[in-house]
Structures are given as structure tokens and as C-alpha cells.
Structure 1
Amino acid sequence: MGKFGYNIEISGVVFTYYIGGFKMVPEQKPSYLYILTGMLVSLVAISFARLAYGVVLPFMKEGLSISYKMAGLLGTITSLGYLVTVMFAGVVSTKWGEKRAILCGLSLITIGFLNLSYTASYIYSSIFMFLLGIGTAFTFTPLISVLIQWFPAQRGLVIGFVNSGAGIGVFITGALVPFLHSLYPETDWRITWRIFCILSVLVCLMVLLIIKNPPMKKTAATEPPVLPRQIYTDRNVIRVALIYGVVGLTYITQSIFMMSFMLDEGLKAQHAGKLIAIGGILSILSSPIWGGISDRLGRKSALLLAMAFNLLSTIAPILMPNSFGFTVNLLIQGIVNTGVFTMVQTLSTEQVHPRYATLSFSYATFYFAVGQFIGPTLAGLAIDYVGFTSIFSLSAVWMAAALYLVTKVPTKTELQTSMSIEPEKGNVNI
């Protein structure tokens, strides 16, 4: 292969090539299809199965005649399904292969969407919200794993594009739900779940036809295995995991209750939906842009900058609970949020040797799941007693704590110049 990415074809098989700047290990399918499929999987598993509930919540709450506390618990139940299976999903994907795990997860999500569109009770809704969480766990971590194995040299950029799929989903949801509400005020949320179900089936078919598991890499016979606990107790991995946990807690809380907060302060449903949709549009390019910034400034410096903006956006509706404050919040969130996800996720894979990156990522994702589990419950309780402002104030405090933790994360240069840990001595850092 030439330095500019010439293809090498032997007996009709393309072994290694560049397409649009992406370098793949030996494979026959064009790389952009993997990236596109990954974006669509993220759209279904993250946006529709997790984040969309915040936009659907006010209308589903009325349809089921439940309180904000009960509505918040539904979000918690989804997070619980994710939490109890995310580590197990990593093990299963290792045994089954990432593609089977992704297909399994998407199938569970599809079943959840279909049944939520017909639910008539809180208990029935709880069962299938839980199923959405399980489906997400079996989908997203294996998805990241398979893509960073296909694109080992561009993991940050690839994760960025995959996360931009979540931004597309937020845009679609923010525009779709209020539009359906204006046409079908009694059944809008049910129609939304059905549309999600149809799109999930189509994405499942794309994964079946396009994605392949990476070829297995041989490990040197003399290389001793590293135990998971050696990664789980690494202080750098733990720092990044804690940051990811706070990001999960604050993001899911704001995603679930932002629409309700705006409506409670007197904003029209369509206006609030438009603000969410605009934030979603901005977030589509957020991940790749912040990936480029982090390449220039360094992952740590870029993350500090993005999380500082994130903190300011959270404070805005606390000080100005009006259209202007919400606009500031959603615009800044759209610009930085998925970029924060991308940089923290990439950081989690960079704290250890590349061959342990998936294990490190799944461990950090467990903390993220814990944050998403406790966030909606605490928020639902606080809203019923002290209102939305208290929730956003608490989120700001947590974000400030995460910002401090980022200052303690070593830069890539510091990792490389610090002690080089050998597997046989129980250390796993670069």
C-alpha cells in the first residue's frame, strides 16, 4: 500500500486501504458504511432508547396519568437495565462476537419500542423501559469495541462520528414529538414509539448486512494475561470512570427533565421542541469538531474547555428560567455535549495499553451507567418537593467536581514518560 492509501487487491480481495481518511484492517467492505451504520446504531440505541424519553415524558406522563416521581422512576428503570447488564454484555460480546451482541441488543430495543407503543399501565411500561436499558447495554459497548478494532489509529474520530448519530436522533426527536402532538394530541407518544420501532428494524438489517467482526489477533504465547481487577484498580482508569459517571448522571437528568422544565416555566411545547431540535443539530458535528480540537490542544485541555462551557450552560436556566436562559443552555449543550462524551470515552481507552482498551472502556461505562441510574430517581424526588431549579443546581455542583477531576488526569505525554508498566508485574498503563 502506498503512503497515500493505494488499494492492494489480490484475487478480488482488498486487504488494506484508505477511504475518506479512515484506515481499516483487512476487510472487503468500504469503511464509510461501517461509520454510517455505527451512527445509525447510536441514533437508535442512545437517542431513541435513552434520550428521547425526556421529550416523550410530558405527553406519556399525561397518557398514563402518573406523577413526575413515577415518570422519573421509569427513566431510572431504563438506567437499571443498562447498569445490571453493561459489564455482562462485554463478556457476552467477547464470547459471541460483537456483531451478534449488537443484533441481540437492537432486537431487545425493537421489542421494547413496540410494546411501549401499546402500553396501558405503569407496570407494563416499566418492564419494557427496563428492556430498553438491557438492549442499549448489549448494543453500544460492543459497537464501540468493534469499530475501534477496525479503526485502531482513528479511534477518537470514529467515536466522534458514532456519537454524532446521537445528535441526529435528538434533532429528529425534538422536531418529531411536538409535531405529532399538534396532529394527534391523544396518541402522539404512542406513534413516536412505533416510528422508533420501525427505524430500529431497518438499522438492525443494516448491521446484519454490513458489519463484520474483526479478525482475531494472535497473542504471543509468552505474554501473560492481565486480570480485569488490575485495570479496575488503576488510578487513572478510575479517575476517567468517575468523570464519565458524573457526565452520565448530569446529562441523563437534564435530557429527561429539560422539556418538562421549559413547559413548567411557561414555554410552548413547539417552541421548546424547536430549541431541543436546534441543540440536536449543533450536536451532530460536535463530536468530530471537538475531536479535532483535542488533537491540537490535547485531550485533557480540550475536555477542560468543553466541560467548563457545559457548566456555564447548566447555570444559565438556574439564573434565567426563561426562553433566553433555556436557549443559552441548549445551544451550548448542543455545541459541547457529544464532544464531552467522545473525549471521555476516548480517554478511557487511552489510559491503558491498546489491547486492554475495550476492558477499560466497559469499566468506565459501568460508572456512566451508575450515574444514569441514580440521576433520574434523585431528580424525580427533588422536582416533586423543591422544583426543577434545585435539580439543575445539583447538576452544576456535580459538574464542578468532575471538572476538578479532569485537572488530575495525566496528559498523553505524562502517561508515556511515567512508569511503563509491564503486564507480568500487574500494571497495564502505556
Structure 2
Amino acid sequence: MKSTGLNTGAILLGLTLGVCITNGFARFAYGLILPAMRADLDWSYTQAGWINTANALGYIIGAMLTLLIVQRIPAARIFQWGMGLTVVFLIATAFTHDYSLLTLWRLLTGIGGAMAFIAGGALAAALHPDKQSRNALAIAIYYGVGGGLGMVLSGAGLPWLFHHYPPAIWPYSWGLMGLVSAIFLPLCLWAAQQLHPPVKPATPPQGHLPLGRMIFQILGYFGFGLGYIVYVTFLVAWMKRGFDTATLISAVWITMGLGIMLSPFIWRPLLARFRSGIPLAAILITMAAGGLLPLVLPSVLGLILSAALFGASVFMAPSAVTSFCRLNLPPERWGRAVSLFTVVFAVGQTIGPIAAGALGDITGDIGQSLAAGGAILALGALVALLQKPL
């Protein structure tokens, strides 16, 4: 791609706004909206959790679909399809109260989000193919700044909407995010159109992955998928029991978003240094500490510190396993290994919300679900610590 620095910056901005939509709005913002939807629609925690499980199921389908077609269809086109699908059904969520349709719209949003997120990563990597340092920075901005920006924007606006209006206002929250996404969408589509990374033809598998020797990294990453989603889904619902102010909810969500935006720069030295499971273990124990802190220190300070720790680590677990694959496996096996970790993560992410919701209903305390999510992250850290270099 021949372009000016200004043009390259605009392209990266367009791709990054894609992650803002697919992750910050379409996936994570549900945690802000869940309490209002639950109150207005008289849902149990299990029903509320299922809505996010449906989104995670869509992510599995979208990820598998992308892996199947990426060797035949340009990444730019996959990204554009995924973005269009995500924005359409993000908006559609604002126009129904029907539980079955909400489930379907969340499923389709997950499919589109996964397609755009995965293909967008390939596009970001094509921005500076011959300049390794700039390429690494572009990828870090894409993954970190995009999702964090979505959380900052949703955290700055939605808590105040629910503060000034009754829970029945929740459709407008989806509509507002859909409107912002529709404004961002043309730049996202244009950015993808400027990049044309080569479509790599399918190649026969070359050797087997050493699954037995990777097992602790695999299990640790499964724990990440299972545990992190509980915190993101139900933290604000837990805050309704004594920390239900728009100012605090907004501050927590914005702090988490800023942590995500800074996280690539915080963790980069550790990721490059170790070939073992130490980076993933360190990231998971940081997340576990963040996830459990509100329960141990139920205060404004505890919540802000919790959000900072969690935000500064949550997006880095995928980077840890990607780095593990690159440092331990030959290049021809990287794609298969990363695909395996993607599926493992997605399965955990699918189980987490509905299981946590069911636990909240059984115990009558959604705090028990947060505790379980934090414990799973801590256990995942201990397991990942056992992973040796291959």
C-alpha cells in the first residue's frame, strides 16, 4: 500500500473504530444495559446471562466461518461484511422486547463481530508489512485502543441515560450505540477497501500440534474465556446493591476502557521475554485480583482499582497465547495453533454468562458469580504457570 502518513493514520483509525463497535459496543456494553433490561423485562440472572451466551455462540460461529473462508475471500471483504452485520443487528436490538428475537439479534451480532475482529487484525498487520516496529504498534493500537475506546464512550454516556430515565429506556441505549456505529461505519468500510493483503492459498497441514505439551496453556486460556466474561457481564448488576450511582458506574467503565487502551504498552516487555506460560499466568492473576477486589474491598476505591487492574489485563490474554505460539512453534503451525486457542476461548466465553447467571439465581447473590469468575481466573493462572517452553 502506497500512502501518506496521514492516509495510513486514517486507515488505522477506521479499523480501530471497527473494534470500538464490535467489542466496546456490541459485546461489552451489554454489562451496562443488563440491569435496566432485567428490571424492565423481569428477567432472572440466568435469562440475562443467556443473552450474552447467545452473543458468544455467535462469536464461535463467526470465528469458525472466518477461518473457513479467509483463504478464499479477501480479508477486506470479510471485515466489511462483518461490520455491516454487526451494525445492522446492533440497531435491530433497539426495536424488540421479544426474548427470542433479542437472542437471535445478539447471536447475529456475535457472528458479525467475530468476522470483523479477526479479519481486521489481518488488515492492521498489512499496514506496515516491511517495518516491524510500526507493524507491532499498529496491531497494538487496533486491539487495545479500539475496544477501550468503545468502553470509554459507552461508559461516558449510558450510565447517565439510566440515571435520568426509568429502566424502560434501555432500547434507546442500543439505538444510541447503533447511531454512533452507523456514523463510524463509512470510515471503517473505506479503511478496509484501502488494504489488500494477499489471500494465501490453503496449504496441507504440516505436522501435528504438540497438544500434550501445550495442555496447560490451553487449559489456562479456557479459564480466561470462562472467567473474564462473568466480570464484564455482571459487575454493574452487582453494583446495583450499594454502588448504584451514575458517576461511579461511569468512572468504573471508563477506567476499564482506559486500562485496555494502555495495556499493550504495559505488557509488551513481558510478552517478548518468556516462551513459557508465565505471561499468561501473570495476566490472569492480575485479572483475578481485579475481579475479586470489589468483593474483598467493597468501596469506591476498591471498584476503581478493580476496573484498572482488570482493564489493564483483559485484552492481553490473546496476545499472550499468540506470542506463545510464535515463540514456540514453526511459522507454518501458527495459524492452526491460534485457531485452536480461539475456539477454546470462545467455548469458555459461551459457558460463562449463563453459568454465572444460574449461580446468581440459585444463591440469590450475583456476587457469588463474581467470586466464582475470579476464582476461575486464579485457577487458570496457576495452571498456565505449569506451562513449559515447547
TM-score normalized by the length of structure 2 = 0.87
Partners of 2:223 and 2:376 within 8 A in 1: yes
Residue 306 of structure 1 corresponds to which residue in structure 2? 283
Residue segments in structure 2 that go unaligned for 5+ positions in a row: none
CA distance in 1, matches of 2:35, 2:155: 13
Equivalent position of 2:161 in the other structure = 180
1:255-274 matches, within 5 Å, as 255-274=232-251
Which of 363, 366, 377 is equivalent to 2:354?
377
CA offset digits 1:375-409 (Å, max 9, x no partner): 00110000112222322232233222321233233
CA distance change for structure 1 residues 264 and 405 in 2, over 3 Å: closer, same or farther? same
Instruction: Name the aligned partner's letter for residue 161 of structure 1.
Output: I
Distance in 1 of aligned mates of 2:292 and 2:150:
25
Aligned to 1:213: 196
3-state DSSP of counterpart to 1:94:
coil
- Structure 2: distance between partners of 1:401 and 1:182: 37
2:360–2:369 CA contact under 8 A, matched in 1: yes
Deviations 1:283-316 (A, max 9, x none): 2111233224434677854444333322222232
Establish whether residue 402 from structure 1 lines up as the match of residue 383 from structure 2. no
What's 1:200 paired with? 181
Contact 2:321 2:338 in 1 (8 A): no
| Residues 21-100 of structure 1: pairs in structure 2 closer than 5 A | 30-100=7-77
Change (3 A) 1:141 1:209: same
Task: Report how many aligned residue pairs link the two structures.
Answer: 383
Residue of structure 2 in register with 1:421 after alignment:
none
Matched, 1:328 2:328: no
Aligned partners of 1:110 and 1:201 also within 8 Å? yes
Distance 1:392 1:184, change over 3 A: closer
Contact 1:145 1:358 in 2 (8 A): no
Q: Distance in 1 between matches of 2:276 and 2:141?
A: 17
Tell whether the 8 Å contact from 2:92 to 2:105 is kept in structure 1 after alignment. Answer: yes
Q: Which amino acid aligns with 2:114?
A: A
Provide the residue aligned with 2:172 in structure 1.
191
CA deviation digits over 1:105-160, x for unaligned, max 9? 11111121111111122122111011111112211122223333555645654442
Map of 1:169 onto structure 2: 150
The residue that corresponds to 1:419 in the other structure is none
Deviations along 1:28-56, one digit per CA (max 9) or x if unpaired, are x9543443233211111111111110111
Higher relative contact order (CA 8 A, sep 6+): 2
**Cα 1:210–1:267, aligned 2, differ >3 Å: closer, same or farther?**
closer
Does structure 1 conserve the Cα–Cα contact (< 8 Å) formed by 2:49 and 2:356?
yes
In structure 1, the residue matched to 2:229 is 252
Query: What root-mean-square deviation, in Å, do the aligned CA atoms of Structure 1 and Structure 2 show?
Result: 2.9
Cα distance between partner residues in 2 of 1:146 and 1:238: 30
SS of 2:148's equivalent in the other structure is helix
SS in 1 for 2:70: helix
Alignment correspondent of 2:344? 367
Q: What is the TM-score when the length of structure 1 is the normalising length?
A: 0.80
1:255 deviates by: 0.3
SS of 1:117's partner is helix
Q: Paired residue for 1:119, among 96, 101, 105?
A: 96
* 2:197 alignment partner, SS class: coil
Question: For structure 1, which runs of at least 5 residues remain unmatched after alignment?
Answer: 1-12, 20-28, 416-430
Mapping of 1:256-295 within 5 angstroms?
A: 256-295=233-272
Asked if 1 retains the 8 angstrom alpha-carbon contact of 2:263 and 2:311, the reply is: yes
Q: 1-side partners of 2:386 and 2:15: how far apart?
A: 32
Name the structure where helix makes up a greater proportion of residues: 2
Alignment-mate amino acid for residue 373 of structure 1: T
Q: 1:341, CA displacement in angstroms? A: 3.8
**Partner-residue secondary structure (3-state), 2:95:** coil
Structure 1 window deviating more from structure 2 (143-152 vs 186-195): it is: 143-152
Letter in 1 for 2:21: V
In structure 1, C-alpha distance between the alignment counterparts of 2:155 and 2:94, rounded to whole Å: 18
Aligned residues with identical type, % of pairs: 23
How far did residue 259 of structure 1 move? 0.3
CA 385–323 in structure 1, closer or farther in 2 if over 3 Å, else same: farther
Secondary structure of the corresponding residue to residue 244 of structure 2: coil
The 1:69–1:301 alpha-carbon spacing in structure 2 relative to 1, beyond 3 Å, is: closer
Structure 1 stretch displaced more, 351-360 or 329-338: 351-360
Alignment of 1:138-149 (within 5 A): 138-149=115-126
Q: How far 1:349 moved relative to its partner?
A: 4.7
Distance 1:137 1:217 in 2: 20
Q: In 2, distance between residues paired with 1:226 and 1:405?
A: 29
Partner-residue secondary structure (3-state), 2:71: helix
| Aligned partners of 2:74 and 2:197 also within 8 Å | no
Contact 2:152–2:254 (CA<8 Å) still a contact in 1? yes
Distance in 1 of aligned mates of 2:388 and 2:123: 27
Residue number in structure 2 paired with 1:318 = 295
- Aligned in 2, Cα 1:410/1:398: closer, same or farther, shift over 3 Å? same
Distance of 2:308 and 2:272 partners within structure 1: 24
Quick check: which has more Rg, 1 or 2? 1
